[in-house]
Amino acid sequence: MSDTYTLYNKTVMDHFMNPRNMGDLPDADGVGEVGAAACGDIMKMSLKVENGRITDARFKTFGCGSAIASSSMATELIKGRTLQEALHFSNQEVVDALGGLPPVKIHCSVLAEEALKAALEDYVKKHPDSAAPESLRETVAV
Ligand code: FES
């Protein structure tokens, strides 16, 4: 690999070059879209939820390679988690799973956390009678 890529480790490059779960979920239960004010990048996350658990996740990211790698990894990590667990998901998990990001690229992983939380909020708004945890309802204030 050329020196151009020395800022990024192999895991980051793999998720950038071969992103997992890219696209939309036509029958999504919750969709969140967020933007990073600093760079203008945009991330959209779609979730399928069954019995209080995330069964599928997809993303679309208009942004840098770190944002694409972060959203790819985030969708991999959150599949199978309960809504309660997803509510406590943090960008640090993405950074750790990617084996680290350069300090100037940490905000790209924050975008993945924010997109997930926006999708969870959308889920609760669209499913007011769901068994979403109280803490999630309080976050959304429905
Ligand atoms: S530079 Fe903005 S999300 Fe990566």
Read off the pLDDT of residues 74-100 as tens digits, 9 standing for 90 and up: 999 999 999 999 999 999 999 999 999
For residue 4, being part of any structural domain is answered with no
For residue 3, being part of any structural domain is answered with no
Q: How many domains does the chain have?
A: 1
Residue with CA nearest ligand 1 atom 2: 39
For residue 63, being part of any structural domain is answered with yes
CB 66 near ligand 1, within 6 Å: yes
For residue 5, being part of any structural domain is answered with no
Catalytic residues: 39, 108
Q: Which residue has the higher pLDDT, 83 or 140?
A: 83
Mean pLDDT taken over the chain: 92
Q: How confident is the model at residue 4 (pLDDT cuts 50, 70, 90)?
A: low
For residue 87, being part of any structural domain is answered with yes
Does the pLDDT at position 134 exceed 90? Answer: no
Mean pLDDT, residues 101-127: 96
Does the pLDDT at position 141 exceed 80? Answer: no
pLDDT in tens, 23-67: 999 999 999 999 998 899 999 999 999 999 999 999 999 999 999
CATH code of residue 66: 3.90.1010.10
CA of 79 to the centre of ligand 1 (A): 23
Domain that holds residue 109: 10-140
By the 10 Å C-beta count (0-12 exposed, 13-18 middle, 19+ buried), 22 is classed as middle
For residue 1, being part of any structural domain is answered with no
Nearest-angstrom CA–CA distance, 102 and 46: 27
